[in-house]
Amino acid sequence: MSSVRTEKEATTTLSEALKSAKTRDADGDAVVRALKSVTEDNAPEGETIDGFHLVIDALKLNGIDTIFGLPGIPITDLTRMAQAEGLRVISFRHEQHAGNAAAAAGFLTQKPGICLTVSAPGFLNGLTALANATTNCFPMILISGSSEREIVDLQQGDYEEMDQLAIAKPLCKAAFRVLHAQDIGVGIARAIRAALSGRPGGVYLDLPAKLFAQTMEAAAGKASLIKVVDAAPRQIPAADAVNRALELLKGAKRPLILLGKGAAYAQADADIRALVEKTGIPYLPMSMAKGLLPDTHAQSASAARSYVLQEADVVVLIGARLNWLLSHGKGKTWAQEKGAKRFIQIDIAPTEIDSNVAIEAPVIGDIGSCVAALLAGIDAKWARPPAEWTGAIAERKDKNLSKMAATLAARPSPMNFHSALSVIRDQVKARPDAIVVNEGANTLDFARSIVDMYEPRKRLDVGTWGIMGIGMGFSVAAAVVTGKPVIAIEGDSAFGFSGMEVETICRYNLPVCVIVFNNNGVYRGTDVNPSGTSDVAPTVFVKNARYDKLMEAFGGVGVNATTADELQKALAEAVASGRPTLINAVIDETAGTESGRITSLNPATAKKK
């Protein structure tokens, strides 16, 4: 394999080129052009391939067909060339949303989503999404262009100088830098493997500007690329671990299955459904596991959530962590004072076990293999849970569901969260293949419990961090990778974090309908500034804002909906037409509650309680 030139030669010629390039012009390519001319001078004879094309070919070789990103120094040409070479390049207005799109694409497809950014600030903007992807166990690769090592390491003040690799490392699963064209294949293979294998997560790949311009002999370049074989190897659980779990489950009087988004990611849908149905055990889906079995399934215990968490004696966690979203498996939520719960936990990460409470029967492996192994132990003689337990759940469910039905049927003016969400609930029932994206405080909490999901991986939301700002990035990814209609249910505050991406939605003419629940502020729009100055309270927005006009500005459809009927009509039209649409749903500004359902995490409010 031929190297382009020695490092010393390269450094000398490059620094000369950089000096002569002088400018770091706005379109970003003077430096790369200068570098390219130098490397071309040093190029091997015969047919050559440059770093740009090695990166593109390595991605294509591994089945990557889409890049989410934002062009600029030093990756502008990479985006152009990638498009020319047949990759789909979706350009965003801010890197965080490109990163969120990559993360959602990773979750939906089991292929690492790729986010491409410029150096320093662009990299930092993408980093939030990378950290969020890692926290949520979504596979993604953040690829950022960077400044030259020689200048960064001596802190000589390069354009957008930053030691990106060092900064990324603690925030993701793995981080790599490639300095030589002949290592691009290895770099991308390692990034893909790290993102997908074991517990999936975010990977950072640092590509300094001069790498793109390096050239090498074409055949050697091609030979240096790696097609990753079996990137997410199955991990078969040990037989004794499976037996231990089955024994514990057999003795349960009030068993419960808890499905998390790891179960949704694993795409073991048929076996998971079979496990639930063959055992007859009631189940609870975490929010992004909704739809693994239809929310209307007879065994769903969602409408009796508090009751089953408190009363269950054996809980089977499948791809769900006992983190804050499950009150760490402790306290009032679990009624631990009534005696210790016994847990079976299926997870690919052995270190997850015992992270909050003791896990009596860990089953370590990939969810597909673990669930299949458990299923093999469930035969015709399996005793279904006692009728006392399933009957008590059904009773509570019925009571709660009929109470909720009455609330949802009301048509108050202005709309409240329930009346608006009942319209969306009906639309999702009519189009169960539509993908729901959901963020906000009250908008999130109410939508999660009101809008039933019917198919796996159709709900994308704020995830493990409860983060705001995923809305438009997730929506773009969902539309791009599935081609299905997307319904983004957005609090007005949450929408603000990524609202400018409606231009992206219009530019690519994506079938996304954004519904902004506009109640004039964060939580609600009624706070008053007690100080007497003219500023509004920190949680209050411009009153009666018309978010629909934002979509119209870019050629999409904007609708101002003040009644449930108007909302229903606009949403049905949007889903049927597939045109980018934003519905400004006017909600009673007094309707929200402080911090939504997580009031207890708000120090001042918690203290008052």
Q: Which segments of 371-511 are extended strands (E)? A: 435-439, 459-461, 486-491
Listed residue (86, 210, 70, 64) closest to 141, CA to CA: 64
User: Binding of ligand ADP at residue 349 (CB under 6 A)?
Assistant: yes
Contacts of 344 (CB under 8 A, 6+ apart): 245, 248, 249, 314, 315, 316, 317, 359, 360, 361, 362, 363
Q: How far is the CB of 250 from ligand ADP (least distance, A)?
A: 23
Nearer to ligand ADP, 112 or 592 (CB): 112
* Part of the chain binding ligand ADP (CB under 6 A), chosen from 249-257, 345-353, 446-454, 497-505: 345-353
Q: How far is CA 23 from CA 16, 33, 153, 337, in A?
A: 13, 11, 21, 69
Q: What is the CA radius of gyration of the chain?
A: 26
Which member of 71, 113, 201, 260 binds ligand ADP (CB under 6 A)?
Answer: 260
Nearer to ligand ADP, 210 or 297 (CB): 297
Kindly write down the DSSP assignment for every residue of 186-244, as one continuous string.
Answer: HHHHHHHHHHHSSS--EEEEEEEHHHHH-EEEHHHHHHH----SSSS---PPPHHHHHH
**Which 261-290 positions form the footprint of ligand ADP (CB under 6 A)?**
261-262, 265-266, 286, 288-289
How far is it, in rounded angstroms, from Cα 527 to Cα 545? 17
Structure tokens at 74: 């030093």
Report the Cα 279 to chain-centroid distance in Å.
Answer: 31
User: How many other CB atoms are found less than 10 A from the CB of residue 414?
Assistant: 17
User: Binding of ligand ADP at residue 464 (CB under 6 A)?
Assistant: yes
User: Binding of ligand ADP at residue 96 (CB under 6 A)?
Assistant: no
**Which 152-211 positions form the footprint of ligand ADP (CB under 6 A)?**
199-200
User: Binding of ligand ADP at residue 333 (CB under 6 A)?
Assistant: no
User: Binding of ligand ADP at residue 489 (CB under 6 A)?
Assistant: no
Q: How far is the CB of 288 from ligand ADP (least distance, A)?
A: 5
Do residues 193 and 176 make contact, with C-beta atoms less than 8 angstroms apart?
no
User: Binding of ligand ADP at residue 367 (CB under 6 A)?
Assistant: yes
Nearer to ligand ADP, 190 or 321 (CB): 321
User: Binding of ligand ADP at residue 584 (CB under 6 A)?
Assistant: no
Which member of 148, 295, 352, 461 binds ligand ADP (CB under 6 A)?
Answer: 352
How far is it, in rounded angstroms, from Cα 578 to Cα 19? 51
User: Binding of ligand ADP at residue 112 (CB under 6 A)?
Assistant: no
How far is it, in rounded angstroms, from Cα 352 to Cα 356? 9
Q: How far is the CB of 258 from ligand ADP (least distance, A)?
A: 8
* Part of the chain binding ligand ADP (CB under 6 A), chosen from 257-265, 298-306, 442-450, 472-480: 257-265
Q: Where are the alpha helices (DSSP H) in 154-183?
A: 164-168
Which member of 323, 336, 560, 599 binds ligand ADP (CB under 6 A)?
Answer: 323
Residue 257: beta bridge partners? Answer: 283, 316
Nearer to ligand ADP, 126 or 319 (CB): 319
Nearer to ligand ADP, 266 or 587 (CB): 266
Nearer to ligand ADP, 184 or 435 (CB): 435
Measured from each CB, the residue nearest to ligand ADP is: 262
User: Binding of ligand ADP at residue 71 (CB under 6 A)?
Assistant: no
Residue 345: beta bridge partners? Answer: 317, 362
Supply angle C-alpha 65, 66, 70, rounded to 5.
Answer: 150
Q: How far is the CB of 456 from ligand ADP (least distance, A)?
A: 13
Q: Which residues bind ligand ADP (CB under 6 A)?
A: 136-137, 199-200, 260-262, 265-266, 286, 288-289, 319-321, 323, 325, 347-349, 352, 366-367, 464
